[in-house]
Amino acid sequence: MQGQQQQAYDRGITIFSPDGRLYQVEYAREAVKRGSPSVGVRTPEGVVLAADKRRRSEMIEPDSVEKLHKADGHIGIASAGHVADARKLIDVARREAQTNRLRYGEPITVETLAKTVTDFVQQYTQYGGARPFGVSLIVGGVTNGRPRLFECDPSGTPYEWQALSVGANRSEIRDHLEAEYEEEMTLEDGVDLALSALTVVDDEEMTPEGVDLATIDVETEEYVQLPDEEIEAHLAERDLLAEDEPEDDEDAEEGSEE
């Protein structure tokens, strides 16, 4: 009898367990942990978004692996988890940003966009017949000269951070960010911290094709995704650049996750 009750809490998205847990939301968080990591760093000079997008096979076209997304001219989003879920939420964010410009004649704020996305995510934790989104997003940007950085997790809760990571090895990367982060960092320092955070666990050197990197500067308030040449220069400057192409990883993650 007790086992049957456990299965009911386990399968029902709208049913709380006796200790106040929603198991399906917790499983969605576990799906996020299987995705390759993404990192966000907020500095007084702007926001840095970085993501590990190393390919499972050399046969995969590098441009087909998307980890960073431009939501609006001044806002970027990094993702970790199921690719299809991420694409759906990115579409929601872009549509909301466009609607705000048409309706109010001004760009949407970073906080408003993050809360709109999490409101959409939260609906899928409250009603039956659907599962939660197995993805976490980092929403970063600049509004009126003020850099902002938010996390949108599968529960539908927006958290604001100075620096954070989502995806695999989150605890270890978070410890590195907490140890190395400084409130008065420059944007270049933020790039340095974000790149070093991506290699904190496996300590492997990286290639430009295996990293996505973008910045939003407070001066221009524009989302800029760095080309491979600039990423290579940043990696080389920090002794993180691989000399040879890495071998295929036979134990790479499932294709439905990023």
Tell me the DSSP string of 158-200.
EEE-SEEEESTTHHHHHHHHHHH--TT--HHHHHHHHHHHHTT
In a domain, 92, yes or no: yes
In a domain, 41, yes or no: yes
- DSSP-derived letter for residue 209 is G
Match 């911290």 to its residue by tokens: 193
* pLDDT greater than 50 at residue 250: no
In a domain, 10, yes or no: no
Match 């070093």 to its residue by tokens: 196
Summarize pLDDT for 31-73 with one digit per residue, the tens.
Answer: 999 999 999 999 999 999 999 987 776 777 777 778 999 999 9
Angle between helices 83-104 and 110-123 in degrees, nearest 10: 130
In a domain, 99, yes or no: yes
In a domain, 146, yes or no: yes
* pLDDT greater than 70 at residue 171: yes
Summarize pLDDT for 87-116 with one digit per residue, the tens.
Answer: 999 999 999 999 999 999 999 999 999 999
- The identity of residue 17, as a single letter, is S
In this prediction, residue 209 carries a pLDDT of: 85
In this prediction, residue 253 carries a pLDDT of: 45
Domain of residue 213, CATH code: 3.60.20.10
Could you list the residue range(s) of the whole structural domain that residue 89 is in? 33-237
Match 């290639």 to its residue by tokens: 207
- Judged by DSSP in three states, 130 sits in coil
In a domain, 200, yes or no: yes
Cα 160 to its chain centre, rounded Å, is: 13
Say if residues 224 and 216 touch (Cβ distance below 8 Å).
Answer: yes
- Judged by DSSP in three states, 217 sits in strand
User: Mean of the pLDDT values across residues 235-246?
Assistant: 74
State in Å, rounded, how far the first CA of the chain is from the last one.
39
Cβ neighbours of 221 (radius 10 Å): 19
Match 């001066």 to its residue by tokens: 219
In a domain, 253, yes or no: no
In a domain, 194, yes or no: yes
> Which among 33, 23, 20, 21 is positioned nearest to 153, based on CA atoms?
33
Q: How many domains does the chain have?
A: 1
- Judged by DSSP in three states, 86 sits in helix
Summarize pLDDT for 117-128 with one digit per residue, the tens.
Answer: 999 999 998 887
CB proximity list for 51: less than 8 A, separation 6 or greater: 36, 37, 38, 39, 67, 68, 78, 79, 80, 198, 211, 212, 213
Question: What does residue 256 show for φ and ψ, rounded to 5 degrees?
Answer: -85, 5
